[in-house]
Structure 1
Amino acid sequence: MNLKKITLLSLSVLLLFTSNTFAEITLPKILGHNMVLQRQKKVTIWGTAAPDEKISVAFAGQTKNTIADKAGNWSIKLSPMQASFIPREMVIKGTNTIVLKNILVGEVWLCSGQSNMEYAMRKYSKFQTSVKGNKPPEDDLNTANNTNIRIFLDRRKYMEPSPEHLGWDAAIGKPLVDFSVVGYYFAKDLYAKLNVPIGMISAAVPGSRIEPWIQASKLEIEPKLKNGKILDKLKQDDGDTGKFYNTMIQPLIPYTLKGMLWYQGESNCFLTENIRYAYKLKALIESWRSDWKDTKIPFYFVQIAPYNYSGSKDRPITAENLPEFWESQKLALHLKNTGTIAITDLVDSIADLHPGYKWEVGRRLSLLAANKTYGQTNVVYSGPVFQKMKIVNNSILVTFSNTGSGLSSRDGKPLNWFSIAGADGKFVKAKAEINGNTVIVSAPEVQHPYSVRFGWNEAAQSNFINKEGLPAVPFRSDNPWEKLFK
């Protein structure tokens, strides 16, 4: 046999091997053993196979069939299911058969953001001394034993589809070490409230700005304010646009979720962003909802913690830049099915960009979800929120929502971090007194008050709470962006 024939034969064998390899069903990494499927929704199962290959998926007494398209892509939707603690198998058949084991049905949430969301349980285990907002729970890293809470850690350079189906982990032992503290305690508290399996997906990268989490094309917009002014394209801020979306978020789509949690902003706050961040957060929320084909999916986020941003040597930052950033985060509440929690009280030192009370952050997010997603309207999920103000003689009467069972002072001392100004806009420290569900604010220096602010400083850790112990949300009555954002 001459060299040419040997070469052709070798090529034929290689093509046959390659064809058989591509003919096998391949699943995305998010589909695997031990996963939790979302209850009471159609559940998407998808993957790749040979073009026109017949695929069947069997789970929980139902079998669905489909045919891969010309590119080899396929997907099916399982009919909605009730929550189940019974571990069951999913059998996926084509030219090969894949059996995924120990699958539960319950509630599935995605948590994403930067280092404070990524903050792992191994770090939390070293933080057991100080207490704010709640008593620290037991050392779950060593004692957790609830196999009905499942976790999936979305790692960069890991999410490419492959023949391996390692899947999810129970939130116990070694797998819990690197998982998000916020994500875990959200799941733990939610489990106690709902008594159904909980699945948590963590996709977070330390130090990341918001831009890498958004598909590049979705930032090719020039937001138009209500006054007609058009902002520069959001993508002009760069920030490795789409980098983590492409590698960590897109591979999750369209895994069926109940909701999304977001804890990010520190990196953008260092850039003194305000209204531009509001539009970026809006773009992220709307684009992720579009990706999952669910315009109503809940999206809850954390108002970032007090920190000494003005101490930065890289750029001029004032003590008011952080409150302005909080304000820009809150503008996202104009979107339906969004919510936020304040954590101004969960900081021991404003020199610490990573305050350790992450279990309480997770708990507060679970309160938010319990109330707004699961209809437990008796659950108080927020501290006092500015509603309106009224000038009364030489004082300002401030009315709040989310007062819970009443307004209070955490330490029994007069309320702090209130300031007041006249028409000249010069703010001075003010006296603030609780009067029912309102606060009366005044200052001798201001006889004709015009506007009021609360917690308007990066160092502000006020004693103003509701009786459920949740902190009041910083605000300014002279917010210039509220009337311009759309």
Structure 2
Amino acid sequence: MKMPYRSAFALPILLAAPAAAQDAPLLHPMFQDHGVLQRERAIPVWGDAPAGERVEVALGERKIRTRADKDGHWRVDLPALPAGGPYTLSVTARGKTQRAQDILVGDVWLCSGQSNMEFAVSGVLGAAGEIGKANDSEIRLMTVEKKTSLNPERQFPAPVQWQPVTPETVRDFSAACYFMARDLRASQKVPMGLIDASWGGTAIDAWRPEAALAKDPAARENLALLRTYRSDPAAASRLFGERWTAWYRGKSGDAAGTEPWQPAAPGEWHPLPSFDPWERWGVAALAQYNGMVWYRTEVTLTPEQAAKNATLALGPADDMDASFVNGVPVGVTYAWGVPRLYALAPGTLKPGRNVIAVGVLDTWAEGGLLGSADQRAIRFADGSSVPLAGAEGWRWRQAPASVEDPPHAPWEAIAGYSGIYNAMIAPIGPYGLRGAAWYQGEADAGSPDGYAGRLASMMAAWRSQFGKSDLPFLVAQLSGWGPRVPKPVESGFAQIRDEQRRAVASDAHAALAVTIDLGDVVDIHPANKLDVGHRLARGAESLTYGGKASPSGPWPVEARGEGKVIRVRFTGADTGLVAYSAALPIGFELCGTVPGSCRFASATLDGTDVLVAVGSGPADRVRFCWGDSPICNLYDGGGLPATPFELPVR
């Protein structure tokens, strides 16, 4: 799973198509064999039938009648039930009956986020043993396939299915979600239904509905661009293309008309070795290179061909491409496994020489323009095509190191606005949930400011959809990943952790699973998801099941100056604070008001407080466990780490 990156001129090819109501089954796909319904609250059930048709819904001995509305949709709310089952859910309309059998009533959890939530049981430490013992017919799994849509969908773009836990079904399921539910199943003794809707590399705005984004002043410009795209994609793409090219010139210093995508671009271009990742080309400068490389070729067209409706096909790029034809931006996509297909506006192609330029940005591991020769062509609407040259007809050159973090279009698949919510969360409808677990943030580490507000607005919007204003949210904090450093540094990952902490601190119905100690310096996907599951379950027990343990472990609440020390007060430290492997806690910093003003500070334990020595220098802020992969030894007596944080000194 690649590190996240974001951008797009053109709409990705993973769009959902709404299902026609008349073709839909009576029951929405959430209701099918082996499903789990939420206990101890009214049970919403919905589906489709001919407009005005009388509908009878039965769950066991309980029956309710209603009628389909003018759009062919119906919904009923069945009375609450205690945990139990199995039941049969049936719907009858116009002599047709649909049944969902082996339905249990218990607790339903929605698990969502990016790659660390998506991380499968098959990849965890001790996977073979965990898979081998996964046999529990009262834990049921549903995975929502990765799709996006420009508009909220009522139906899933791809089929979904409830499945009891077996070694076969659990193998590719979210490990953090499964281990959390396994703990809860053991403690609560009720059936568990797990919905995994996760997608690696995704930014939080892709998971926020448009109604939530509309309340965010920072989203105003991109929302307007998205709305333009819905009615006039060519106009929106031109507007975004102007933004992207201006960004590139600002980063590269290229004068207008001299950029690499221009047909007469100056500068040296090298013969392309192959369409393998550039790390394999044998070019020393690219052997460990994460950045942008430009690819360039030419194709000759007749006047008749140039006048046809056409698509540029390029094959996949890893991670992101920005593609141009004759100096005109035609598409940008971040998705490393997806072949690029960009519709060309009339007038883009010319009779005679046409220049194709592709800037490929790699942010982690291998990168490049990939795929087979038959994936690279100009394809015409009449079915004919002109192949693009093989490697011998392409050239390349390296972009300046300053070219990084481009702007992204609001219709881009995994980091645009609302697309994933529309196709993966909206179709779940008002289904009854016990709570939600959220494990995401890596994709937003490049722009962490305001993440707490974005997370809060997402939680509020999802609660509104599921009809429960106090729906519990379990937030898995980012684990350690990346280089360790001998002095204080600024860190987007550390800031995201603190933004997650602040969002949870402001929400009485949220809990934080601190995982800073479960990370891997060289792998953004640490394999210890068992302990992540344990900590999510602990938060769930505290929020929803009356558990007496603190939900998150040691929690900072205040930093106050007391002469030569700063007193940091903690709550939630069950059985007190301890420092592992040392007499004193480490990882504390004191800072001035501006970035880069932090220094390490010595600290001592004082009951459930920590005293940080002021020493010499400013002390406007205190930070703890800051950095990509910090080393920290402050825990509670039960073995939970203190959360990383930054607090103002009062």
TM-score range, shorter chain: 0.7 to 0.9
508, 515, 523: which is aligned to 1:352?
Answer: 523
Relative to structure 1, the CA distance from residue 309 to residue 47 in structure 2 (aligned partners, 3 Å threshold; closer, same or farther) is farther
Paired position in structure 1 for 2:142: 152
Relative to structure 1, the CA distance from residue 310 to residue 461 in structure 2 (aligned partners, 3 Å threshold; closer, same or farther) is closer
Paired position in structure 2 for 1:303: 477
Instruction: Provide structure 1 residue ranges, at least 5 long, that are not aligned to the other structure.
Output: 1-20, 129-136, 224-230, 312-317, 481-486
Note if 1:141 corresponds to 2:131: yes
Paired position in structure 2 for 1:3: none
Relative to structure 1, the CA distance from residue 410 to residue 309 in structure 2 (aligned partners, 3 Å threshold; closer, same or farther) is closer
Q: CA deviation at 1:384?
A: 1.2
Paired position in structure 1 for 2:562: 392
613, 624, 636: which is aligned to 1:442?
Answer: 613
Q: CA deviation at 1:395?
A: 1.6
Relative to structure 1, the CA distance from residue 291 to residue 34 in structure 2 (aligned partners, 3 Å threshold; closer, same or farther) is same
Q: CA RMSD in A?
A: 2.9
SS in 1 for 2:518: coil
Relative to structure 1, the CA distance from residue 327 to residue 24 in structure 2 (aligned partners, 3 Å threshold; closer, same or farther) is closer
Relative to structure 1, the CA distance from residue 64 to residue 344 in structure 2 (aligned partners, 3 Å threshold; closer, same or farther) is same
Contact 2:559–2:649 under 8 Å retained in 1: no
Contact 2:591–2:597 under 8 Å retained in 1: yes
Separation (CA, whole Å) in 1 of partners of 2:641 and 2:120: 25
Relative to structure 1, the CA distance from residue 423 to residue 109 in structure 2 (aligned partners, 3 Å threshold; closer, same or farther) is closer
183, 196, 200: which is aligned to 2:177?
Answer: 183
Note if 1:285 corresponds to 2:284: no
Over residues 155-178 of structure 1, what are the superposed CA-to-partner deviations in whole Å (9 max), with x where a residue is unaligned? 13599859x997411111211111
Structure with the bigger RCO (C-alpha within 8 Å, sep 6+) is 2
Relative to structure 1, the CA distance from residue 304 to residue 218 in structure 2 (aligned partners, 3 Å threshold; closer, same or farther) is same
Separation (CA, whole Å) in 2 of partners of 1:423 and 1:298: 35
Over residues 97-116 of structure 1, what are the superposed CA-to-partner deviations in whole Å (9 max), with x where a residue is unaligned? 11211111100010101110
Over residues 258-307 of structure 1, what are the superposed CA-to-partner deviations in whole Å (9 max), with x where a residue is unaligned? 111111110111x23222x2222122111111122221111221111122
Note if 1:328 corresponds to 2:499: yes
Separation (CA, whole Å) in 2 of partners of 1:71 and 1:449: 62
Paired position in structure 2 for 1:264: 440
As a proportion of its length, which structure holds more strand? Answer: 2
Contact 2:89–2:99 under 8 Å retained in 1: yes
Relative to structure 1, the CA distance from residue 445 to residue 205 in structure 2 (aligned partners, 3 Å threshold; closer, same or farther) is same
447, 464, 477: which is aligned to 2:647?
Answer: 477
Paired position in structure 1 for 2:220: 233
Over residues 359-391 of structure 1, what are the superposed CA-to-partner deviations in whole Å (9 max), with x where a residue is unaligned? 111111110110111112x22332211112232
Separation (CA, whole Å) in 2 of partners of 1:212 and 1:309: 28
Over residues 231-269 of structure 1, what are the superposed CA-to-partner deviations in whole Å (9 max), with x where a residue is unaligned? 563846633212111111111011111111111110111
Letter in 2 for 1:203: A
Q: CA deviation at 1:423?
A: 8.4
Task: Find the structure with the greater CA-based Rg.
Answer: 2
1:73-472 superposed matches below 5 A: 73-84=73-84, 86-95=85-94, 96-124=96-124, 127-128=125-126, 139-156=129-146, 161=155, 167-223=161-217, 231=218, 233=220, 235=222, 238=410, 239-269=415-445, 271-275=446-450, 277-308=451-482, 319-333=490-504, 334-347=506-519, 349-376=520-547, 378-421=548-591, 426-442=597-613, 444-445=615-616, 450-472=620-642
Contact 2:483–2:629 under 8 Å retained in 1: no
Separation (CA, whole Å) in 2 of partners of 1:401 and 1:206: 34
SS in 2 for 1:389: strand
Contact 1:216–1:235 under 8 Å retained in 2: no
Separation (CA, whole Å) in 1 of partners of 2:462 and 2:592: 43
Letter in 2 for 1:322: F
Relative to structure 1, the CA distance from residue 234 to residue 290 in structure 2 (aligned partners, 3 Å threshold; closer, same or farther) is farther
Letter in 2 for 1:91: S
Contact 2:559–2:647 under 8 Å retained in 1: yes
SS in 2 for 1:453: strand
Contact 1:27–1:161 under 8 Å retained in 2: no
Letter in 1 for 2:466: W
Paired position in structure 2 for 1:57: 57
Over residues 167-202 of structure 1, what are the superposed CA-to-partner deviations in whole Å (9 max), with x where a residue is unaligned? 411111211111100110111001111111111100
Relative to structure 1, the CA distance from residue 422 to residue 57 in structure 2 (aligned partners, 3 Å threshold; closer, same or farther) is closer
Instruction: Provide structure 2 residue ranges, at least 5 long, that are not aligned to the other structure.
Output: 1-20, 224-407
Over residues 64-108 of structure 1, what are the superposed CA-to-partner deviations in whole Å (9 max), with x where a residue is unaligned? 111111111001111000011x32211211131112111111000
SS in 1 for 2:604: strand
Separation (CA, whole Å) in 1 of partners of 2:34 and 2:474: 26
Separation (CA, whole Å) in 1 of partners of 2:633 and 2:221: 37
Contact 2:484–2:630 under 8 Å retained in 1: no
Relative to structure 1, the CA distance from residue 423 to residue 48 in structure 2 (aligned partners, 3 Å threshold; closer, same or farther) is closer
Relative to structure 1, the CA distance from residue 451 to residue 61 in structure 2 (aligned partners, 3 Å threshold; closer, same or farther) is same
Paired position in structure 2 for 1:16: none
Contact 2:549–2:574 under 8 Å retained in 1: no
Relative to structure 1, the CA distance from residue 100 to residue 214 in structure 2 (aligned partners, 3 Å threshold; closer, same or farther) is same
Separation (CA, whole Å) in 2 of partners of 1:70 and 1:100: 25
Separation (CA, whole Å) in 2 of partners of 1:57 and 1:44: 11
SS in 1 for 2:137: coil
Over residues 382-414 of structure 1, what are the superposed CA-to-partner deviations in whole Å (9 max), with x where a residue is unaligned? 221111223233122221011111101233442
Separation (CA, whole Å) in 2 of partners of 1:23 and 1:352: 46
Separation (CA, whole Å) in 2 of partners of 1:23 and 1:343: 46
Separation (CA, whole Å) in 1 of partners of 2:570 and 2:135: 41
Relative to structure 1, the CA distance from residue 54 to residue 398 in structure 2 (aligned partners, 3 Å threshold; closer, same or farther) is same
Q: What TM-score comes out, normalization by structure 1 length?
A: 0.82
SS in 2 for 1:405: coil
Separation (CA, whole Å) in 2 of partners of 1:435 and 1:32: 56
Q: CA deviation at 1:218?
A: 2.5
Contact 2:41–2:79 under 8 Å retained in 1: yes
Paired position in structure 1 for 2:72: 72
